[in-house]
Amino acid sequence: MFFLHQKVVYPGHGVAYVNRILEKQVGAESAAFYELTFINKDMTILVPVSNIESIGLRSLSSADDIHSIFKNLSKPERKLSPFEFSASSWNKRHKEYQLRLRRGTLEDLSAIYKDLRTIETQKKLSFGEKTILQKTEGLLVEEITVVQEAEIEKTVQKLRELCLSSAATSTHVSF
């Protein structure tokens, strides 16, 4: 259960705050809703309280969670195989990325981000890959800046530097 004015994360859309808690008549039954107002979008939505788990609505991550994500991003990249650059591999990765975006956990977002940054060191990203990378980076930056009360530009820079440092300490596949 969330409380009024609490900041929450709506998977795939970012950080919002609970603007109101409403009771609405839906058919013959009364249902409770959270009215969420997004902090970086001109968007307000109603979320049934009974559906928050299935939607994946969650509290903001803790400072410890963010520290853990930073440690993970700075670890050496995994070794890529040439097969990972094929069209069929992209289709599988795209489905996995979409599933992780819908779950919207900080761990899922950082895994997508690190994976795409790793691939970017080996080849030019496709339009679809770039789109997912930008969306993922935006969602990560938004949550991290809210939790750490940091500046957006500094958070973006830190994320990118962590991935660059992990690229420098890893072994890459050569073609």
Q: Does 169 have pLDDT greater than 60?
A: no
Which CATH code for domain 7-59?
2.40.10.170
167: pLDDT strictly greater than 80: no
Largest CA distance in the chain: 64
Reported as a pLDDT band with limits 50, 70 and 90, residue 97 is very high
Q: Do domains 7-59 and 63-168 have the same CATH topology?
A: no
Give pTM, 2 decimals: 0.87
SS3 content of the chain, % helix, strand, coil (to 5): 55, 20, 25
**22 strand-pairing partners:** 33
Q: Confidence class of residue 26 from pLDDT cuts 50, 70 and 90?
A: confident
The residues, any chain, with a CB within 8 Å of residue 40's CB and separated by 6 or more, are 14, 15, 142
Q: For residue range 68-77, what is the model confidence (pLDDT) as tens digits?
A: 999 989 887 6
87 pLDDT tier (thresholds 50, 70, 90): low
Instruction: Return the pLDDT at 170.
Output: 52
Query: Would you state the pLDDT for residue 123?
Result: 85
* Confidence at residue 81, expressed as pLDDT on a 0 to 100 scale: 65
Q: Where are the domains positioned within the chain?
A: 7-59, 63-168
CATH no. of 63-168: 1.20.58.1290
At which residue do the structure tokens 């660059």 appear? 164
- pLDDT at residue 174 tops 50: no
Mean pLDDT of 44-54: 94
d(CA 113, CA 163): 9
How many residues in the chain? 175
Using CA atoms, how far residue 149 sits from 71, 155, 158, 175, in Å, is 19, 10, 14, 43
End-to-end Cα spacing for the chain: 52
Average pLDDT, the chain: 88
pLDDT recorded at residue 76: 77
Cα–Cα dist 33/47, whole Å = 5
